[in-house]
């Protein structure tokens, strides 16, 4: 039976999950509220599994964290004439009553935000809000903090990746999916290949689940998926999957992930068993030790540039995002290659603006 995280104090894994959600919300809000040119009338923030608002010790849950970040923009929302909707749903009645009390006690602090709460089954809640999400005049941030795996079905995933201007985060009980992958109760929602699971180390299971969802994205659709693995005190591995149709969304998610995991940007534990102490010097190279993920990435990037398979800054930028690496780290490698005279000096734009239609692409030149 899945543990109710709100009956006790949040554990470290839950705090990390909420930290990523809050940090991404903080990154996301100014993009759609402070933009100079606004092409949307509505900003929707939706939490389909909101909980009561706090844990047993009063630590803030997602509803409080959202309102905390929104409070900065109270006046700006009014000035710009934006319609900002916060929708919170909680299915369990006892938790809903607590959530309702919290919202009613705080609603007057947010006169320019429409706050709606409901006590519905997830499917009913989603069906009620689908028409508001799937519209051209809205920007959406959606949090699916499901208790398990069953709600993020293949059908639902394929639906939300086609919503315009929509970023999402959803939680997956990865260890549970791994352990019971062949059981009908799991297989009907998450069709993992048993052979792939058997050859995947336990601590990499969330990587495999992200690859599963990535495989559901049509080749004709530009969409970006990120991940973050979370190890609980019990040893179980769970995680977050992030999705955005825009490179800026993916870049901002990576920023939040690397903030929490400065070594690899993808887990709250040593996911590759590197055993590296930050700043530790390698006894052979006399250089600061690098995680396997970084070393492998740098070697691959360098090889592809030398082979001329990556020809310009835009391709390098997208390659970074695809591998879950901050573009700034790719920029450091480019400077090293220029210093070593493997490529000629050039000014690379490794930001989301390089993907704009009118952007100037900087091509790599060789000696």
- The answer to whether residue 5 scores a pLDDT higher than 80 is no
The pLDDT assigned to 280 comes to 65
Q: Domain locations in the chain?
A: 12-260, 274-367
**pLDDT tens digits along 153-179:** 899 999 999 999 999 999 988 876 776
> Average pLDDT, stretch 356-367?
94
Sign (positive/negative) of CA torsion 103, 22, 114, 141?
Answer: negative
- The answer to whether residue 243 scores a pLDDT higher than 80 is yes
Cβ atoms 138, 130 nearer than 8 A: no
CA gap 190, 192 in Å, rounded: 6
Residues with Cβ within 8 Å of 362's Cβ and at least 6 positions away in sequence, in order, are 312, 313, 346, 347, 348, 349
The pLDDT assigned to 281 comes to 66
For residue 45, give both structure tokens. Answer: 């923030």
Strand partners, 228: 240
> Average pLDDT, stretch 66-89?
96
140-154, 278-292, 323-337 — which is least confidently predicted? 278-292
> Average pLDDT, stretch 56-70?
95
1: confidence class by pLDDT, cuts 50, 70, 90: very low
CA gap 127, 20 in Å, rounded: 27
Residue 105 main-chain phi, psi, to 5 deg = -75, -20
Question: What percent of the chain clears pLDDT 70, i.e. is strictly above it?
Answer: 90
pTM of the predicted structure, to 2 decimals? 0.92
For residue 192, give both structure tokens. Answer: 């993992």
Cβ atoms 250, 226 nearer than 8 A: yes
CA gap 352, 334 in Å, rounded: 17
Strand partners, 212: none
For residue 221, give both structure tokens. Answer: 């659709």
- The answer to whether residue 125 scores a pLDDT higher than 50 is yes
- The answer to whether residue 238 scores a pLDDT higher than 90 is yes
The pLDDT assigned to 14 comes to 94
- The answer to whether residue 130 scores a pLDDT higher than 70 is yes
Distances in Å between the Cα of 202 and the Cα atoms of 14, 173, 226, 235, 341 are 20, 13, 19, 10, 42
Helix (H) or strand (E) holding 117: strand 113-118
For residues 4 and 204, which has the higher predicted lDDT (pLDDT)?
204
Protein fold of 12-260 = Rossmann fold (3.40.50)
The pLDDT assigned to 102 comes to 94
The pLDDT assigned to 152 comes to 87
> Average pLDDT, stretch 100-112?
94
**pLDDT tens digits along 269-304:** 999 999 877 666 665 565 667 899 999 999 999 999
For residues 66 and 6, which has the higher predicted lDDT (pLDDT)?
66
Q: Please provide the average confidence, as pLDDT, over all residues in the chain.
A: 91
Q: What is 129-176 written as a DSSP string?
A: HHHHHSSTTEEEEEEE--SSSTTS-HHHHHHHTTSTTEEEEEEE-HHH
CA gap 178, 198 in Å, rounded: 9
Strand partners, 5: none
> Average pLDDT, stretch 309-326?
98
Strands 237-244, 224-231: pairing kind: antiparallel
The pLDDT assigned to 174 comes to 84
> Average pLDDT, stretch 210-217?
94
Residue tagged 């973050």 (tokens): 228
- The answer to whether residue 306 scores a pLDDT higher than 70 is yes
């Amino acid at each position: 039976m899945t543990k109710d995280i709100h009956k006790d104090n949040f554990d470290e894994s839950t705090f990390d999950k909420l930290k990523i959600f809050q940090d991404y919300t903080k990154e996301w809000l100014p993009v759609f509220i402070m933009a100079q040119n606004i092409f949307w009338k509505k900003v929707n923030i939706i939490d389909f599994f909101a909980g009561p608002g706090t844990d047993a010790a009063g630590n803030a849950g997602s509803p409080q964290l959202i309102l905390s970040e929104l409070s900065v923009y109270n006046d700006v929302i009014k000035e710009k004439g934006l319609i900002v909707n916060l929708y919170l749903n909680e299915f369990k009645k006892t938790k809903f009553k607590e959530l309702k009390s919290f919202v009613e006690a705080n609603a007057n602090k947010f006169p320019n935000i429409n706050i709606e709460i409901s006590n519905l089954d997830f499917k009913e809640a989603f069906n009620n809000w689908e028409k508001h999400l799937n519209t051209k005049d809205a920007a959406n941030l959606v949090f699916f903090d499901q208790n398990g795996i069953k709600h993020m079905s293949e059908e639902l995933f394929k639906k939300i990746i086609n919503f315009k201007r929509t970023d999402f985060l959803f939680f997956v009980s990865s260890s549970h999916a791994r352990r019971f992958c062949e059981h009908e109760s799991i297989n009907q929602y998450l069709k993992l290949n048993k052979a792939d699971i058997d050859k995947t180390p336990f601590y990499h299971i969330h990587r495999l689940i992200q690859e599963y969802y990535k495989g559901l994205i049509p080749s004709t659709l530009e969409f970006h998926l990120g991940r973050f693995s979370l190890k609980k005190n019990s040893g179980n591995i769970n995680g977050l999957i992030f999705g955005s149709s825009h490179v800026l969304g993916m870049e901002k998610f990576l920023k939040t992930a690397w903030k929490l995991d400065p070594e690899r940007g993808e887990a709250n534990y040593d996911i590759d068993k590197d055993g590296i102490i930050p700043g530790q010097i390698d006894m052979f190279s006399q250089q600061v030790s690098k995680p396997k993920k970084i070393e492998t990435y740098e070697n691959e990037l360098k090889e592809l540039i030398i082979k001329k398979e990556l020809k310009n800054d835009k391709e390098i930028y997208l390659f970074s995002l695809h591998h879950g690496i901050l573009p700034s780290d790719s920029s450091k490698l480019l400077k090293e290659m220029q210093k070593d005279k493997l490529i000629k000096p050039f000014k690379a734009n490794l930001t989301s603006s390089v993907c704009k239609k009118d952007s100037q692409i900087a091509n790599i030149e060789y000696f």
